[in-house]
Structures are given as C-alpha cells and as structure tokens.
Chain A
Amino acid sequence: MSGTLYWDALHLGHTVIPASQVSRGEYVRLVMNFPCQYAFMQQMFSPCDGTAADAWKMWLQRDEEQHLPGSREFSMSVGSMIRHRGLIANLSLRENLLLPFLYHEDQQRIEQAMDELAEVAGTIGITSALDEKAGERTTFTHALISLGRCLLLKPVVIVAQEVHIGMPPEHLQQFTEISMQALQRLGSGLLYLTASPDEGSGLNFARTLIVMTGTQAMQNAKGE
C-alpha cells in the first residue's frame, strides 16, 4: 500500500519547519527543540478540513486521493509513537491496543484486529499483561504499546517523537531490537522528531532536517 505524507512549511514565531514529505519505506529525521516538536504534533493531529486559506496543511497522498488529519483514512494510515504518550490510563492494555479500531472501524475489521492481537502482544512481550489496567507505566511500556498499535494498524507512515529517550539501557536495547524488526516487517515510512541527531534509535535515516530556532532549516541530504 503506497502513500506519501506531505506537509507545508510551518511558521512558529521566527522558527520555520520546512515543507517536506515522507514516503512509505523512507526514514526521515526532523531535528528541533521540544516546543517545536510539540507544536508540530499539535498542528499535525488537529482535525483539518482544509477550507481556511492560511491554514497549515498536512495530508496523506494515496493514489489520487488526499486524506487530511482527523479523517478516518488519515488516522488509520498514519501511526504515532509519542514519548510517554502511548497509553490511556483507565483502559486495559488490550483496549489501548485496539482503541483506534474500536473508534474508527466496523465489526469485521475489529474482529480481524482482535485475531492479530495475540501475535502482536507476543512480539512486544506483553501477552500476560493484556488485561491489566494501564494506569501509570514506564516510558518503555508506553513505547511498546504505541509500537503494538502500529503493528496492528500497518500504517503507511509512522510519526515517532523521541520514543527512545528516557529508557534504562536494558529497555532501550530491547526496544531498539523490537522496533527495528517491527519496522522491517511493516515497511512503513518513519518521521522521527527529535531534539538531537544522537537520538539512540540506531535507524538509518535517508534524510535529516535540522530546524534552527530563528533561522532557516538546514537539510542534510546525505543522511546517516
């Protein structure tokens, strides 16, 4: 399933996040400080109808169709892995994994996702904890659940925000291995938002965009 995620240049005060795109299978790294990452995500996940002339625009292009944020197609084709933002505390881990399906999809697709759930839970190593209430969890569990959700969704592009930061070394190594396998299996594109080029993901990025506060973005076309 091909597709490309595009976005316009985003002006945040004197800072400009350049317009760019991520295609399926392509890994792009966007280096900027946390406030800019947060503002970018806020804009990205705000429902957009594309009617306002000056509105910032992000869209997923699939074949001839454009899907805007907030639409079912966009939400089911763009996965997200945000640091320590992978869980809803008052749901069980199972419900957390199935949440996008329970909200967006019909009964048939929900049942299909339920069938795949056992395998995904095994991959990320949470089979025995599936029916536990999420509550307060570590950054590692948040990251695993986000990854599990992406494995179920099979998105065109995954947007990840510093998911590798703040984990103890043994968890970081475990998560890096699981996420690399998962990304290979999915073949999705990846947009990695990070404050530092040494983010610890161990991934081979095709492009790195560095956003400098107050100046124009620099683009490193060589990648890693």
Chain B
Amino acid sequence: MMTQLHGRADQLGTLGMHLFAEIRRMLEMTLSILAVGLRMKWLSKPAVTHVAFRQIYFTGVQGLPWVLLVALGVGVLAVYNIVDFAKSIQDMSLIGRLISNLLVQEVAPLLVTILLLSRSGVAVVTELGTMHVRGEDLTLRSMGISVHEYLLWPRLMAFTLCGLILTFLFVFASIWLGGLLVSLSYEINFIDFLVEVKRGTTFNEVFILVLKGSLYPMLSIIMLLNRGCHVGREPNLIPVHATQGVLGALMLTLMSDAIIALTQALI
C-alpha cells in the first residue's frame, strides 16, 4: 500500500517537474524570439522578410476563405437564434448585448484560433521538425543565421498578426452576412439590427476582442514552435510532436479563456 502510494507520489512529482521544465523552456524561447524580433533588425534582412511574407501568405491569405466560410455559417446561426430569442421575450436591446458577449468576445477569437491550428498548426510543427531531422538548424548556424530570427520569429509574428486580423474579419463577416441573411427572411430590418449591435458594443468589448484575438494565436504558436524545436533527429516522432503541439495549444487557449473570464468576473 505504502509502496503504491510512494510510486504515485513519485509519478506526480515527475509530472510536475516535467511540466515546470516545459513551461520554463517555453518562456525562455518566447523571450529570445521576442528579443530578436522586436529589435527590428530583421526588417533589413531580405532572407527573413521573405520567410515572414511567406508565413503571412500561408497563414493569413490562404486561411481567409475558410474563416469567411465559417463566419458566414456561425453568423447566420448566431444572429438567427439571438434575434429569435430577443423577439420571444420582446426585448430587442438584447440583440446587441448578446452578439457582443457571445459572438464578439467568445466565439470569434476561439473559432479563429481553432481554424488556424487545424490549418497551419500541424504544418508548423512538421516543417520545423523536418528541418531539425535534416540537420538544417546546423546548416543555418554554420552560415551565422539565427534560428530564432530566421525560422521562429516570422512564424510567431505571422500567426499572431494574422490571428488578430482574421478575428476582426470573422466578427465583421459574421455580423454583416448573418444580419443580412436573417433580415431577408425574418421580421427585422437590417439597419435596425446594425443599430442594436452598435448600441450593445462598448470599448471594453473591442479591447477584449483585441486581447483575445492576439493572445490565443500567440500562445498557440509558442506551443507549436516549442514542440517543433524539440523533435530531435527522429523522423517518426514528428507526428507525435505535431499532435501534442496542436492539443497543447488548444488546452492553453481554453485555459487562457477561463483565466480571462475569471478575471472579468472578479473585476
């Protein structure tokens, strides 16, 4: 009995230490990436700007149709149900508040992060992992090229920037397209709908949208980069790290969402 208990305690301790080491490694990596990125020297290096443009194109431009498609579907469903609910209790002022609280603050940042993760998450870990397996990190360092600046910063910057922009586009598309389609078949005027949405949106909500829209993609990409950089020399470990990276990023996003919600409730 005591041996079993000790065994469990040992497992728990090991798990805790691994978790702590992982968090520390991620923090150190993030700080070094931000240090090289925010120094802005990369702007004068065509090799790095080329990678940055490619990452923005891959994450943002190629992801845009998917985001708009999902925004249309979610927008129609959300607006239809919210308008229906507001009409049923005869309080149209709820439309703006509900859209702001549900669609703008919660659904949009979360869905865009999930879309980015499913489209680009696996690609990021796989690409970095393959580069490590091929020994391209040594090739880069032999040319005096910083792996943080050339490989990691463009991905971090593109994922965060595109995440924020796509979140805003998601919000606009879902509200406009959803409102437009619902107004065609429902008893609400499109202009009245927009007025209600505007009335229900405050600066605080926009701030939360900016915060979540940039924080979730940023946390996700940090997790993905961390996994991609630790594949080692074993090619068969790439899928394992890709799965761990995407799931870890998802968990990190949900935990951050819970923390922000708790903080909002306490304030």
Q: Which of B45, B46, B139, B146 has the most CB of A within 10 A?
A: B139
Q: Which of B46, B48, B140 contacts A110 (CB 8 A)?
A: B46
Count contacts on A: residues with CB < 8 A to the other chain.
29
**Taking the complex as formed, is B141 at the interface, i.e. its CB lies under 8 A from any CB of chain A?**
yes
Q: Give complex CA distance A88, B134 in Å.
A: 9
Q: Is B143 a contact of A85 with CB atoms below 8 Å?
A: no
Q: Mark B191-228, 1 if CB is under 8 A from A, else 0.
A: 00000000000000000000000000000000000000
CA–CA, A103 to B89, complex, Å? 63
Give the shortest distance, in Å, between B225 (CB) and chain A (any CB).
17
Contact of B138 among A42, A75, A102 (CB under 8 A): A42
Which B142-186 residues sit within 8 Å CB-CB of chain A? 142-146, 150
Contacts of B150 in A (CB 8 A): 103
Asked whether any CB of chain A lies closer than 8 Å to the CB of B47, the reply is yes
Do B50 and A70 touch (CB < 8 A)? no
Give the CA-CA distance A100 to B139 in the complex, in Å.
11
Q: Which residue of A lies closest to B139 (CB)?
A: A85
Is B22's beta carbon under 8 Å from chain A? no
Interchain CB contact under 8 A, A74 and B144: yes
What CA separation (Å) do A149 and B140 show in the bound complex?
Answer: 13
The answer to whether A45 and B138 touch across the interface, beta carbons within 8 angstroms, is: yes
B46 touches A102 (CB 8 A): yes
- Residues of B within 8 Å of A87, CB to CB, are 136, 139
Which A67-108 residues sit within 8 Å CB-CB of chain B?
69-72, 74-76, 80, 82, 84-90, 99-100, 102-104
Q: Given A85-B136, A89-B130, A90-B127, do A99 and B144 touch, yes or no (CB 8 Å)?
A: no
A188 to B209, CA, bound (A): 58
B142 and A82: CB pair below 8 A? yes
In the complex, the chain B residue whose C-beta lies closest to that of A103 is: B47
Contact of A128 with B by CB under 8 A: no
A103 engages B48 (CB within 8 Å):
yes
Q: Is the CB of B139 within 8 A of A102?
A: no
Within 8 A of B (CB), among A199-220: none
CB-contacts of A41-71 with B (<8 A): 41-42, 45-47, 69-71
Interface range on chain B: under 10, 10 to 19, 20 to 34, or 35 or more?
20 to 34
Q: Which B residues lie within 8 Å of A82 (CB)? A: 135, 138-139, 142
Chain A proximity of B140: nearest CB distance (Å): 7
CB distance from B54 to the nearest CB of A (A): 9
Chain B nearest CB, measured from A205 CB (Å): 21
Q: Is B48 within 8 A of A85, CB to CB?
A: no
Interface centre among B46, B127, B134 (most CB of A within 10 A): B46
| A45 close to B47 (CB less than 8 A) | no
- In the complex, which residues of chain B have a beta carbon less than 8 angstroms from the beta carbon of A89? 130-131, 134, 136
Partner of B145, one of A42, A84, A100, A110: A100
CB <8 Å contact, B144 and A75: yes
Which chain B residues border A45 with CB–CB below 8 Å? Answer: 138, 141-142, 144
Q: Is the CB of A46 within 8 A of B144?
A: no
| Docked-complex contact A80 and B142, CB < 8 angstroms | yes
Chain A residues with CB under 8 A of B48: 103
Query: Given A75-B143, A90-B127, A99–B47 Cβ distance below 8 Å?
Result: yes
Measured CB to CB, the closest approach of chain B to A41, in angstroms, equals 7
Docked-complex contact A47 and B136, CB < 8 angstroms? no
List CB contacts (< 8 Å) of A105-141 with chain B.
110
Report B-chain residues with C-beta under 8 Å of the C-beta of A70.
144, 146
The distance in angstroms between the C-alpha atoms of A199 and B231, with both chains bound, is 32
List the A side residues contacting B143 at CB < 8 Å.
Answer: 75, 80, 99-100, 103, 149
CB proximity of A193 to chain B, nearest CB, Å: 12
List, in ascending order, chain A residues with CB within 8 A of B130's CB: 89
Q: How far is the CB of B41 from chain A (nearest CB, A)?
A: 11
Quick one: which of B131, B135, B136, B144 contacts A71, CB cutoff 8 A?
B144
Task: Jot down 25 A-B pairs with beta carbons below 8 A, ordered by A.
Answer: A41-B138, A41-B142, A45-B142, A46-B141, A47-B146, A71-B144, A75-B143, A75-B145, A76-B144, A85-B135, A85-B136, A85-B139, A86-B139, A87-B136, A87-B139, A88-B140, A99-B47, A100-B143, A100-B145, A102-B46, A102-B50, A103-B45, A103-B48, A103-B150, A104-B144
B residues engaging A (CB < 8 A)? Answer: 45-48, 50, 127, 130-131, 134-136, 138-146, 150
- A89-B134, A103-B47 known; 11 other A-B pairs, CB under 8 Å? A41-B142, A45-B142, A80-B143, A82-B135, A84-B135, A87-B139, A99-B47, A99-B143, A100-B145, A103-B143, A159-B142
